[in-house]
Structure 1
Amino acid sequence: MNELRALVYTDESLRPLASLESLNNLLREAAAEAQAAGRLNIITLYGPDDDHLLLVVGSDETVMGFNHGHGGPPYYASKGVVDDDDPVLTAYVGLAHHTEFPRRWVIPMAVGEMAAAEFLATGRRPASIPWEEV
């Protein structure tokens, strides 16, 4: 198992996550905070090579993104079951920075949680969900 580092708010230090329990606790807490704020949050999980997984929390739906630690392409977004862009899913990085995602990237939160657990286990882009190169 790898150790991840998580960023929930842009003005905080990275939080270490060394176990599935710590990951699940973070996802639960971040979702509850997002729900209390009345907006979805985008959190970032950093792997050992600085590859990072973005995950929308605070709903039963999520969008995931994956970027390589080197910062260059290719970039990936989760692939949902529809091909439409609307209605968009609106979320906020650190509950502050407005971001809109096309509907085609939306997947169930339960699937996103499993993919985050896979990222913790492997440190690599989760193979358990379909991805769209963006």
Structure 2
Amino acid sequence: MDLDGSRPIWLQLVDDFRLRIVTGAWPTGTRIPSVRELATQSGVNPNTVQRALAELDRTGLTSTERTAGRFVTTDTAVVDAVRRELATDATDAFITALTAVGMDLAQASALLRERWNARPAMPQADTGEKS
């Protein structure tokens, strides 16, 4: 993980951990690595990791079982809500960038469809959407 000096590290970890959950790198119901393991992997202080994980607990993405560790929620509605939030943020950034270069909705839609169809095949859950 490349850390950015413009934002607090713990918030960057929250973003990274949320992404791991919504992409299935940390599947629902699974135990996540310990604070020490995550601190070592990320190259940060364990207290920073603990602060990020506490935020995930607060939002319901994870929960701590006193003697068993920390687990990703089994509540798929919570995960889906975070996935939608992340997608909304990405969409808003996309819209802002395209309007800044003078594209309208029709042009942006055509570009999105073109790039969507040109992307490498990625293993993802079937959403029922047709491309």
Do they superpose with TM above 0.5? no
- TM (normalized to structure 1)? 0.25
Give the number of the structure whose alpha-carbon radius of gyration is greater.
2
- TM (normalized to structure 2)? 0.25
Which protein is richer in strand relative to its size? 1
